[in-house]
Structure 1
Amino acid sequence: MPDPATVRIIPAATARSVRWRNGQGWTRELFCAPAPAAALSVDAAAAPWPWRISIARIDRDAPFSAFPGVDRELMLLRGGRLDLQVADRRIALASRYARHRFAGERDVAACVPAGGVEVFNLMWRRDLHRARLWHLPLAGALAWRADPATTWIVHLLAGHARCGSGAAQAALVAGDTAVLSDASASGRVSIEGEGALLAVCLRDRLDAGPDDACAPAGPDPRPGIRS
């Protein structure tokens, strides 16, 4: 069995429904990272976690909850269109996998002119992490650089795969999520299979590395390399 400190699998069936902070909607929480007490702010409005991933179902127009100190990225997974009202600006996510990043303290409202949608919701404390998100097809193998200051998250949208670092590998089916950390022994994490996935790289903000530390492990402009 893989070392749970290196590869943690979150089966799709274990995702729990959580009401939005403002009570205006619901999200399926895939994973909420625990945080050391020293890393948590005493500000009651701040997020009580360093990062969180979830999938929200939005069936009606509603404002998003305020999360001071948190950066967010939304990606449209299902449904025809999601419009984001940001002050006097309207941003349309009109195609599958379109995304938008915004600060959690901003007033942003969701509008669903073509009916209900599902969105992948990545949230992270900007004082603790930097983050990047990709949608990738999977046909064979992909690999990324890894080190102790980096956490990788893989959410399998479709198909099947094996994911891990070195000898620590675990099976994934559609809807499952893998959280990979402390992969310094091999220097990279990898996934092999068929389907499609979302990949998230979270880099420790206190690490001295550059902002592009979640860079490709080769010449391919995507975050992964085929092997």
Structure 2
Amino acid sequence: MRKFTAANYRVMPWKNGGGTTTELYVEGSGGAAFLWRVSIADVAADGPFSIFAGYDRHIMAIEGSGMVLNGGPNGPIEVNPKFIPRSFSGDWSIDSRLIAGPVRDFNLMSRRESVESSLACIEVTESLQLGEPDVTAFAHLLQGELEVSGQKFLTGDSLLLTPGEIVRGSSSAARLALCRVKQRG
């Protein structure tokens, strides 16, 4: 298990230059050729999303009133209410429209040909087991405090579990963004 705090995160410009994102974790070579990446973006205005051809994208609003994404072949995607993940192809040309002011969103992007990925939001009110065989898990504490294997995690902290690594955690009230990534083949 590896723990990450704000000191480990990196603020970087959006691929399209329209804003910045805080990169929580990246697997692979980084830049445009990463295998998978977890980030939090602050969206202050309507505008286009960067295209990430060959990538699957998972997104959920974590602050603000959400936004509507337009441009995908299946019609609008409403990133609202908070803590409900939505998924779409990074190949799609997407424009966003804020519902009522700025939004902060949580993102997982993964290279489609190499890995399967998913994003979930979990509320912890007692105990929790994280980790699975053949799955890399990245958990980010959105709210509250959590104790995992004797380590205390505060809001904004993250943990990375390699495949097969299983840990138990506990909290009286916490909310986690949980990313699951599994190699294809």
**TM score, norm. by length of structure 1:** 0.74
Match of 1:203 among 169, 175, 182: 182
Q: What CA distance in whole angstroms lies between the structure 2 residues aligned with 1:79 and 1:20?
A: 20
Any gaps of 5 or more consecutive residues in structure 2?
Answer: none
* Unmatched runs of 5 consecutive residues or more in structure 1: 1-6, 41-45, 207-227
Aligned counterparts, 1:1-227, within 5 A? 7-35=1-29, 47-87=32-72, 89-147=75-133, 149-163=134-148, 170-183=151-164, 188-194=166-172, 195-206=174-185
Q: 1:189 to 1:116 in 2, by over 3 A?
A: same
Change in CA separation of 1:181 and 1:61 when aligned onto 2, cut-off 3 Å: same
The one-letter amino acid of 1:190's match is R
Deviations 1:111-144 (A, max 9, x none): 1131100000110111111112111111121114
Calculate percent identity across the aligned residue pairs.
29
Distance 1:107 1:137 in 2: 33
Q: Structure 1: which amino acid aligns with 2:20?
A: W
Question: Does the CA contact (< 8 Å) of 2:60 and 2:80 recur in 1?
Answer: no
CA contact (8 A) 1:71 1:126 kept: yes
- How many Å apart are 1:191 and its aligned residue? 2.2
Aligned amino acid, residue 19 of structure 2: G
The 3-state SS of whatever aligns with 1:202 is: strand
Query: Matched residue of 1:183: which SS?
Result: coil
The 8 Å contact of residues 130 and 204 in structure 1, kept in 2 or not, is answered as yes
More strand by share: 2
Conserved? CA contact 1:144–1:189, under 8 Å: yes
User: How far does the alpha carbon of each residue in 1:156-179 deviate from its partner, in whole angstroms, 9 at most, with x for none?
Assistant: 111111235xxxx53211100101
Q: Which has the larger radius of gyration?
A: 1
CA displacement at 1:90 relative to structure 2: 2.4
CA contact (8 A) 1:72 1:124 kept: yes
Q: TM-score, normalised by structure 2?
A: 0.90
Q: What do residues 166-213 of structure 1 show as CA deviations (whole Å, max 9, x unaligned)?
A: xxx5321110010110435xxx3332223111111111112xxxxxxx
